[in-house]
């Protein structure tokens, strides 16, 4: 239990320091923006097909494509993965 506790404690302290803006050895990932309309069209899919395949609502997809909203957080990460490896995402979502 000592090693586990030490690891959790160290991680928590690093997270707190990072949240306070201190420089710590934390690797962060900032996903790049994705042109959702171009991605979808490049895959030859309708909005309905793309939304159903990858688990987005059609309304959300439309907002992104119109520019009313921009994908954030986990959605943006998923779109980046779809852009690079759509077959992998499809396989992972198929059970």
Render pLDDT for 1-22 as a digit per residue (tens, 0 to 9): 678 888 888 888 888 887 888 8
Specify if 45 maps to a domain.
yes
Specify if 31 maps to a domain.
no
32: enclosing H helix or E strand: none
CATH number assigned to the domain comprising residue 51: 1.10.260.40
How many domains, in total, are found in the chain? Answer: 2
Same domain membership, residue 47 and residue 3: no
Q: Quick one: pLDDT at residue 68?
A: 96
Range of the domain at 12: 1-26
Which spans in the chain are helix H?
A: 2-19, 36-42, 47-54, 58-66, 73-84, 86-93
Same domain membership, residue 50 and residue 86: yes
Same domain membership, residue 59 and residue 13: no
Reading the block at residue 71, the tokens are 């994908």
Kindly report, residue by residue over 37-46, the tens digit of the pLDDT. 999 999 999 9
Q: Quick one: pLDDT at residue 34?
A: 97
Q: Quick one: pLDDT at residue 51?
A: 97
Could you tell me if 21 and 15 are in contact, meaning their C-beta atoms sit under 8 angstroms apart?
no
**pTM, full prediction:** 0.71
Same domain membership, residue 85 and residue 61: yes
Phi, psi torsion values for 72, nearest 5 degrees:
-130, 165
- 64 contact partners, CB below 8 Å, separation of at least 6: 36, 37, 70, 71
Query: If we measure between CA atoms, which residue out of 73, 89, 79 comes closest to residue 35?
Result: 79
Could you tell me if 65 and 37 are in contact, meaning their C-beta atoms sit under 8 angstroms apart?
yes
Q: Average of pLDDT values for 66-94?
A: 95
Specify if 1 maps to a domain.
yes
């Amino acid at each position: 239990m000592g090693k586990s506790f030490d690891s959790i404690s160290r991680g928590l302290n690093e997270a707190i320091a990072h949240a306070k803006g201190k420089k710590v050895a934390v690797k962060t990932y900032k996903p790049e923006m994705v042109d959702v309309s171009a991605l979808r069209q490049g895959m030859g899919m309708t909005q309905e097909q793309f939304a159903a395949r990858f688990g987005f609502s059609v309304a959300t997809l439309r907002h992104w494509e119109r520019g009313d909203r921009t994908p954030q957080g986990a959605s943006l990460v998923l779109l980046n993965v779809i852009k690079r490896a759509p077959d992998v995402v499809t396989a992972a979502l198929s059970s």
